[in-house]
Amino acid sequence: MQIYQFLYEMTYADAAAIWRKVGVDPSTLTPKELFTARRTLAKTYHADAGGSGETMADINAAYDVLTSAKPTSRTGSHRAGPDEDPDAAIWAHAGWSGGMQNSTRINRNDYTDMNFIKKRMWELSKHSTQEWTISGFDGYFLRNSLTVYGSPEIFDEMAKAMVDWQTKGGNPYKCRAVLVSARRSKELRLIWADGRSYARKPIVVTSDSFNDNPSNDHTFNDRLRKLIDQLDENGGPLPDQDDLGLGGAANQTERPIEVGDHVSHSKFGNGIVINTNVRRNMSRVNFDGDNRNVKSDSLRKLKRWSGGWH
């Protein structure tokens, strides 16, 4: 067996496989029974008992994962209630990096519930253990992200889930785009933008971040917004892609662009709105003396702070 020196590299499935190799199926055991089983295994595999030190190290590392994934008083987690899935230890493990295991409680059986998304993606991917992080972009920032077990075959469903979660969840925002990234990768894949799916042929977007968090690349959001604007203007590179029917508008009241508003545009910079009725969804804006007709939903309102408009 391989010794797992770093706990965050071991998934619940890995841990269960280690115990099954020594004749114990942990999925049927309570936390107390897991503790008793480990003591029994130690009598055979501990070095002091003439066993293999490497095997016992694997058993102990797996035990830490198994007990963290199941609610116990040691981790400070609550006991499983009737509204919690007894098999949630597997799907809930996605994105876990050690410490207290994430809650497995599902409050709503739809995509406005984070844990429902995680469980559903795991089921649709046929119990995949490949981790994908789904991120929602509101046109200016990556607002929400969630790591699930999934696969490229369900990218469309990942997009639907993120749009619902970001626009209808507890703190709703607009959702102009959805991106996914494999674990520990700086490469993001655009799978949905402005109502159009790119799931069959995702568009690769790279980050210059020093780690796998694109928020640490201060140019990323601007570059992503420009790409989405270009896709919108060109009708997208794949016009045969299915429209998911997702508008991407948050369930919140937002004051529309009005004449006199100070606004920002990704291509033309800051300006002042001089006409909001050029034609449907088009406004005329003065950008430093240059009047241009632009899409109203491509404009971001600016607020005045000390030092200028931001």
Q: Which of 46, 69, 92 is the last residue of a domain?
A: 69
Which pLDDT value is given to residue 30? 81
pLDDT at 251: 40
Assigned domain for 81 exists: no
Are 214 and 204 contacting, i.e. CB atoms less than 8 angstroms apart? no
> What pLDDT is recorded for position 213?
73
Is residue 254 one of the residues assigned to a domain?
A: no
Question: Domain range holding 25?
Answer: 7-69
Q: Do 200 and 149 reside in the same domain of the chain? A: yes
* pTM for the predicted model, two decimal places: 0.55
Q: Mark which of 18, 43, 69 sits at the end of a domain.
A: 69
Specify if 121 maps to a domain. yes
Neighbours of 217 (CB within 10 A): 17
Per-residue model confidence as pLDDT tens digits over 169-226: 878 899 999 999 997 777 899 999 998 899 998 998 887 766 667 777 778 888 888 8
Greater confidence, 45 or 157? Answer: 157
In a domain, 62, yes or no: yes
| Domain assignment present for 98 | no
Least reliable range by pLDDT among 78-87, 215-224, 240-249, 279-288: 78-87
Q: Which residues 6+ apart lie within 8 Å of 57 measured at CB?
A: 3, 4
Residue 23 maps to a domain: yes
Whole-angstrom distance, CA of residue 56 vs CA of residue 3: 9
227, part of any domain: yes
Q: What CATH number does residue 35 fall under? A: 1.10.287
The verdict on 230 and 112 lying in the same domain is yes
User: What is the band of 79 on the pLDDT scale with cuts at 50, 70, 90?
Assistant: very low
pLDDT of 270 over the 80 cut = yes
Cβ atoms of 169 and 141 closer than 8 Å: no
* Structural domains counted in the chain: 3
Task: Confirm whether 246 is domain-assigned.
Answer: no
Q: Report the alpha-carbon distance of residue 18 to residue 41 in Å, rounded.
A: 12
